[in-house]
Amino acid sequence: MPQPLPIQFAAVDLAALAKATGRLAVLHEPGQTPTAAFRRLDRLAKGALSRATGSEAFARLKLGEALELAYPAGLDVDAVQILRLSKRAGVAEARKAGAAVGRAHGTGATLVLAEGHPRAADIAFGLALRAYDFDTHKTGEKKVPGPVTVAVTNPEAVARTAAPMAAVAEGVFFTRDLVNEPANVLTTHDFAARLAAMQELGLQVEILEEDQLMKLGMGALLGVGQGSESPSKVVVMQWHGGAKDEAPFALIGKGVVFDTGGISIKPAAGMEDMTMDMGGAGVVAGVMRTLALRKAKANVVGLVGLVENMPDGRAQRPGDVVKSMKGDTIEVINTDAEGRLVLADVLWYAQERFKPTGMINLATLTGAIIIALGHENTGVFSNNDDLCNAFLAAAKAEGEGAWRMPMGDAYDAKLKSRIADMMNVGGRDGGAITAAQFLQRFVKPDVPWCHLDIAGTALLKSDSTLAPKGATGWGVMALDRLIRDRFEK
C-alpha cells in the first residue's frame, strides 16, 4: 500500500548547495528581498534564477505555483523549482506550493528550501499528499520515491507542528487506497479485515456479521446485500481519547463495495467507477486512523455498513417492502437507491447503542448532487445550524469544498408510499434533497446531524491540487479539524 513520503526537517546549509543533487525547490516572491538560499543558488547558477523570476512567465504565476529550471548550469541538480510564495501566504497557497514539488518528485532526492517560512509544515503536508501514487496492481519494478528534506531555520519546531499533519496524511492515504481498490480485492471481508487491523493503533474494532444484524432487525441494510456472495457486515471502530464518561461523536459511512444498481441495474458505461461507492466508509476509516495515530483527546465512534449490491435470483426487487431497525417499513422503488437503506439502519444503531453527542454520515449517495454542485463541493445537509456551521468552517479552513443544501417538509412529502411508511426515492427532481430527507427520518429529533453527499468529490477523473486523478480522500482533513476544534480540550 502507498505510504506518505517520509519527510525530514533540517537546518539550512548554504555551503552544501554547491554539491546538491536531485531536485531543489526554493521560495521567491517578486518585490521582496530574495532569501539567502535563493541568492546562493543564483550565484552558483550565474544569475539564472534572477533572470527566471524577472521573466513574464514567472510574473504570470499565482501564489503556490512554480517555474522549473532543468539542469541549470553551475549546479549538479536535475532541476530547480522556483515557487512563487511569500511569507504572508495562507495555508492553501503553502500546500499548493508543496503539491507542485510533490507532483514533480521522483526517485531522486528532493530538497525544499523553506528557510524561515511560517507555513513550512503546510508546504511539507501538500508535498506529501500530492506525491501519492496508487501503483499496487501494476507489475514490473516499483518506483520508490526518493528522500525529501525540508530545510528550515527551526527544524525541531517545524517538525512538532508537522507531526499531527503526518497523521492526517496517513489517514488520507488510507482512504484513497480503499477507494482506489477494485471490488474483487476490496470485498466486504477484506474491508472489514483492514479495519480490524487498526486495533494495533489502539482502536477498539468490532465486526457485526449477518446473523447479528438480523437479530438487531437491520432489514433495510440486509436487503441491499442479499443478492451478493459477499456477506453484509457492520464494522464499529471506537476511539476513547476523551473523558471516560463522555458520550462519543459518531461518524457513519456508506460502504457499498460495488454497486451494480441491483435489479434496477445501471448502464454499463461507467459502471467500473462503482468500486468507489464505499467512499463514505473509506473516509470514516481514514478519520479514525488519523485520530488513533495522533492520539486525539476526544471520544469518537466510526460505524460503516459494508455491503455489495448485485443482481441475483435472491436479490431485492423493486416493489419489495423491508423493515428497518427503527421499525419503519420502506417500499423499495429503485434498488439503485441502496445507500440510504444501509445508512438508515447504521444511523439508528449508532443512536441506540452509543447515544452520541452528534452524528455526521458520509456517502457517495446521489448523482443529483453532482448535477447541482459539480465536483468542486460536497453537498451538506443538516438539522442543526451549530454543527453544520462548525463543519463548514472546518472544511473551509482545510480547503475542502462544501456547500449547504436546503431541506424541508415539501421534499419529505415526496417519499410518501401507498403500501409502506415511506418509499426509498422521491423522483428525479431534488433527488439529493429527498435522499437527505429519507435519512433524516432515522435521526432522532434531539441529535445534531449532518449528511455529506460526497458523490462528486470522492473520486475525480483528473488531477486536483493535492491529489492525482482517482480517489481524493476528501473529508478526512475537514472532519479531523472539526473534531480538534469542537471536541478536544
The answer to whether residue 266 is catalytic is yes
DSSP 188: H
**C-alpha closest to that of 32 among 92, 67, 84:** 84
Catalytic residue among 194, 340, 441, 481: 340
- The upper half-sphere exposure of residue 115, i.e. CA atoms within 13 Å in the direction of its Cβ, equals 15
β partners of residue 151: 10, 113
Cα 50 from Cα 134, distance rounded (Å): 37
pLDDT band at 65 (very low <50, low <70, confident <90, very high): very high
Q: 7-153 in CATH: which number?
A: 3.40.220.10
pLDDT digits (tens, 9 = 90+) for 391-423: 999 999 999 999 999 999 999 999 999 999 999
Residue type, 90: G
Cα 109 from Cα 154, distance rounded (Å): 21
pLDDT at 251 over 80: yes
- How much is the pLDDT for 143? 83
Measured CA to CA in angstroms, residue 151 lies from 35, 84, 426 at distances of 12, 17, 56
Catalytic residue among 43, 103, 266, 484: 266
- Higher pLDDT among residues 1 and 476, named by residue: 476
pLDDT digits (tens, 9 = 90+) for 351-374: 999 999 999 999 999 999 999 999
Q: Are strands 422-423 and 329-331 parallel, antiparallel or unpaired?
A: parallel
Q: What is the mean pLDDT of the chain?
A: 97
The answer to whether residue 418 is catalytic is no
Residue type, 466: L
Q: Does an H or E element contain 374, and which?
A: none
Cα 65 from Cα 61, distance rounded (Å): 6
Cα 127 from Cα 102, distance rounded (Å): 4
What CATH fold (topology level) applies to the domain 170-487? Aminopeptidase (3.40.630)
- How much is the pLDDT for 1? 59
- Higher pLDDT among residues 6 and 27, named by residue: 27
Span 291-312, mean pLDDT?
A: 98
Cα angle value 439/442/448 (rounded, 5°) = 85
Place of cell 528532493: 110
pLDDT at 248 over 70: yes
Determine what percent of the chain is predicted with pLDDT higher than 70: 99
> Using an 8 Å Cβ cutoff, are 308 and 228 in contact?
yes
Query: Would 7-153 and 170-487 be classified into the same CATH topology?
Result: no
Cα 204 from Cα 453, distance rounded (Å): 27
- How much is the pLDDT for 20? 96
pTM: 0.97
- How much is the pLDDT for 140? 86
Sign (positive or negative) of CA dihedral 48, 146, 289, 438: positive
pLDDT at 42 over 90: yes
pLDDT band at 6 (very low <50, low <70, confident <90, very high): confident
- How much is the pLDDT for 101? 98
CB atoms within 10 A of CB 31: 5
- What separation, in Å, do the N-terminal and C-terminal C-alpha atoms of the chain show? 34
Span 39-46, mean pLDDT?
A: 98
Cα 470 from Cα 457, distance rounded (Å): 10
- How much is the pLDDT for 2? 65
> Using an 8 Å Cβ cutoff, are 434 and 414 in contact?
yes
Domain boundaries, the chain: 7-153, 170-487
pLDDT digits (tens, 9 = 90+) for 179-211: 999 999 999 999 999 999 999 999 999 999 999
pLDDT at 489 over 80: no
CB atoms within 10 A of CB 448: 19
